[in-house]
Chain A
Amino acid sequence: MNGPVRRLSIGLFTGFFALLLAVTWIQVIHADALKADPRNSRPALSERGKERGLMVTIDGTVVARSVEDPEDPRSFVREYPEGEVFAHVVGYNSFLVGSSGLENAYAQELRSKRDLTISDLVTVILGRDLRPESLEITPDAELQRAAYAALGDLKGGIVALDPRTGAVLAAVSSPSFDPESLLGGDAAAVWEGLLADPNGPLLDRATREIYPPGSSFKTVVAAAAIDTGEADLNTEFPDPVEFPLPGSSATISNAGGGVCNDGQSINLLQAFVVSCNTTFADLSIRLGAEDIGITAEALGFNTEIPFPWTVPEAAYPVDVLAEDPAALGQSGIGERDVRAAPLHMAMVAAAVANDGITPTPYLVNRIFDADGNTVETFEPSPMGRAMAPATAEVMVQMMERVVTEGTGRNAAVPGVRVAGKTGTSMGPEGLPNPWFIGFAPVDDPTIALAVFLEASPELGESASGGGVAAPIAGELIRLWVERSP
């Protein structure tokens, strides 16, 4: 009788072996395909329901938080109370369309460490915290809101820095989007809509898009000229109607179409104050690409800026310009191959304000744990000296004159000494990109900023940096100085 029982045993164990094979197929060989099946909501759900850390601005405004899901008390939903205003800085963490901004850059800190239970136990035994860590970020919510409101319906970006430290006081991009709209079940459709929007609301025009900086780049050229001793405030230049570009039939002319001064000569200070193109094309060629390049690179051009996300490099292509005097002339007024994001141009203004030392911009002030204890504080060291203190002093004078009597008069704030430089570069379809870079108060600068408006039909073809960007800068400076103790 043991014979049949033995044969049946073999049959039963064949059955168990078949189960083992099937389980191996499902959980090992075929597992990734099952995991990736769009109908399998588990992978997304496992990230979605988890608590994430706070993001709080330096003034205590919460810009990202996790709250208990009212429909499922064990799960959390992410909220971005400041919505569009902080969208490009804070980013989003969507289970359908991925993540961006600080949500992406600090994913490791912001996520709950509670996942693999065995490793969790080890973590707890080691005395570490499983709860997510939180970020204190440098922007001032009031300034950020004002900057976003100032851009209104226009396309553009604004970056404001503390010139002494590099702390980002504001970084806005317009148009924007509601990051919470990317968290729901319809995120994919919302995402498609945002991508298809001709105004590009997903683009970060403050730190992740580069544009020709136009005449605001004259700040860099002037600093290089003074630093190298090539020119000073009183150095005289010819004052032609047109500056012929060497080796080319093209010419550089001035904004108004005529001469900048008296048609005879113009000194550097005057040329800077009225933003004289012919003078700076001339000066640029006299200086040479290498010398301008040294100053530009010390101000953050051609350099990878350490930032929570990859910032495209601001471009001043020294090698190309050294071979091409015509292009060198055009680049002297921030056209041709010169490119910078508002972040870079804010760094230029900040370096002048900071006695010639370029600060490293940073967005995250400190990381703190769930009990509020500081885990890590960021004190970035400056990028380095871009110009001699004496040069910076001269630049301050020149930039203040731009606001008191030059193209930047619209940035003036009663009772505050403001310094700056306007710019109007050539955008698509010949439309202008207005710029304004500046800082205040002149005797002890607490804010350096760059205001950029992207060329658009709404902005019109006659918009200029002095006309539309400078007033925005003035408004933000006034607000900041009022708020500063």
Chain B
Amino acid sequence: MMTWLARLRDRVRRREIKAAFDEEMRFHLEQLEADHRARGLSPEEARRAAQRDFGNATRAREDLHERAGLPVMDEFIRDLRHAWRGLVRRPLFTAGVVGVLALGLGAAATIHGLAQAIVFSPLAVPDPDELHIVLESDAPSPVRLSHATAVRLAAEVPAGAAGFTGPTRFTVQRDGQPAGRVMGELVTGSFFRMMRLSPVAGRLLEPADDLPGAPAVAVASHAWATVQFGTPQAAIGREIWVNRQRVAIVGVLPPEFRSTTVGRQSDLWLATVQQTPLRYSGNAWTTGGDDRPNDPDWTREERVSWLNLMMRVPAGQGFAPMPALLAAYAPQRDALLGAFDQESDRVEFTRRTFRIEPAPGGFSSLREGFRSTGLLLGGLVAAVLVLACANVSGLLLVRILSRHRELGVRLALGSGRWRVGRLALAEALILSAGGALTGWILATWLYPVATGLLAPGQTVAELTLSPGPLAVMAALTLGSALVCGLGPVVFIARLEPLVALAGHGGLRGAAGRIGRALVGAQLALAVLLVAVAYTLGGELARTLTADPGFARENVLSSTFDAASAGYGPADRAALIDRIDAEIRAVPGVVDTGFSVTGILAGSVSSSGITFRDPRARIRSQAMQGDIVRPGFFRAAGRTLLAGRDFSPDDRAGTPPVAVVSAAFARRVFGDLDPIGQRFGFGSEPSAEEDMTIVGVVADAKLNAIREEAPAIFYRAAAQVPDAPIGFVAVRVEGPVAPVQRAIESALGRAEPAVVFTLWRTLDERVLNDLGPARAASKVAGTFAGVALILAAAGVAASLGYLVTLRQRELALRIAIGADPGRIRWAVLVDAIKLGAIGAGIGLLAAWLLPLIPAVGALLPARLNLGVALVAAATAILATVVAGWSPARRASRADLLVLLKSE
């Protein structure tokens, strides 16, 4: 190995080595001459004797030349030069092949880059491989546990552990400027120590910052601090208002560290002890018991599970994280068990187990979503790459065929087959390298488009020429070069020199068969891709045109968070009334409605409820719920199927009422009339607290457009103390945009402290929800189109050359009296046969592939065989069109012209 490296090094300094040798030789000869003169020889005799002693200098120099380098490499460089000259002479052919390969390699680089950024890129902290997260055993979701559990775990894990909320929205104001939304996270005091991060200015959060009574301080991201204050240093000591609480900035993070979650940017980091002052009420599992009310301060309550857990587990130090986790969790487990009043619930709860998994990249909400789309796109890219390679292989083969005489001469003169084959490989390698280079440029354009489509609104790492992508690109380039070169090399291996010289292309069927197989494979793949693309598109079109159960046009919507704007439960209802009045005063507004979770707003809430009618199909179950103000259903265009809507008379003190969705009624009550049914949160009936169902609304796809409409129950906001209303729907008349602007400016004036997220129509929410699917469908459609064009081009080129190869035979047949019309027909039939076989295989694949479970799971629906049939017919038609010109040429083959040309 060392010797190889030394030879490689000497190859670079070969000129230097030869110069040194000449110098040494001169010295050597002079010394010898001097010796001989000292023995009494004449100068002329001494010179000759010296040369005799030294021996053959040319031979020595040649040996040195060979020794200073690797002969294999030298030969390959020669081959590359030769191949390069050949390719430069045919610029059109070269550009075409490079273009085809660039398509495939560029698409591969883009998808690989995305997968890297979303699935594999580690957090910007030292030793990210040591980071582990805690998950529920039976679910892919990360577990949330109590603050006390996180603190105990930090004490148990020597290398560090911490709890954090994940990205959440804060309302931030500074120096009397209008309020703005900033993403931030609450973390336990041990968080930054565990991450082993160092500040670029000031200090990071310490355990002391997370103790009760500690002053409210925040750490800012590098990007935010720079935008807000000019430099990180300038941010230190500045005071801002976060959710109406005064907070001092004490430190700034390094620019590379963005968030605990892939694709997100968290700009403000505060200690978890600030949960109560900030009125943080994000994702949490709250278990209430009849024995005592929960402490509203979550950092003091074991029964509120609101922090994700992360820890460092260095490899090979023998630290077992699971016992540490269970020890930290034990007190919380006991506290939770105390909250259950039914034995069955307790038994169910004790079965809960955890998993601890490496998470060098932190959390990712994109990861799960991307996995299926990414795999599908990866498959499509692979298919296009294979197609591109098959196509190029065919074109190279055709090129080799056209040089059969030259090859015959080379082989007949004793050139080794391997040597001739190597030339074809060198050609393939140059073309692949060109394709990779062009493909990379293509990828740098495609990548932002692809991230925009597949991960909208997310901060995804940029595509860079780092070792990882480079290695993958190099491997793909080498791989495609080998695949592309394979056909020609097999052909050369079977070429018979004499037959080749005689002008038959040395065919003996081999090249013909390879060419046909390549064309067939391309057609099959194209048919399959068209079927996949159409199925994706068709499924999407059906989803888009299906009625989601709410009015899509003319309904504007937004979300807001009264708590983070500093409104407590007492003045929240009055705030909503003021917002309602402001919106209704805008000309063009027909109706307004308010709810807690709303429609396609990314939030879902559920509670365990018990039904009182013994005939109900379900006794007790966790069901999705929402809390709405009267008029919400009307504003959002929901249809009331039976009973009545909520009215202003449903208020605190009147009997509690509920409206349920049709799916809820079906699932719980079957054929029973749901109106008048009662249910409640407690296991025993309660005359004051149980709700009576007064109405049924039609189903609507509230959570995600591609999910089933949820079985959901609605409560009246006035009957729920502290209902955290945060979704508003506004039905408008006429053009939406001017009304939206008027609402925004009215609210901005009236309630400057409340931040409303981007106003959107419900239709825009639907489109946004389907974003990744629409992107995948567009990409698949584009790939299918490219595939069909590639395949058609491949057919035309291959058939053209197959006819050229048979030209002598065809001309002879015509010369001895065959009917040109029949010859034309025969060539066309040949093309149709080829098309039919390829299309047939594609059709079969479209039918069989989805039956493989792994493939079937990726597709939203069974492949549409009707479309596959149309694609197959199109493919056959393409072969006929592509075969027409060669067939005509075949029927006009003139023996005399042909003989003259030879």
Tell me if chain B binds chain A. Answer: no
Chain A residues engaging chain B, CB cutoff 8 angstroms: none
Query: Which residues of B come within 8 Å of A, CB atoms?
Result: none
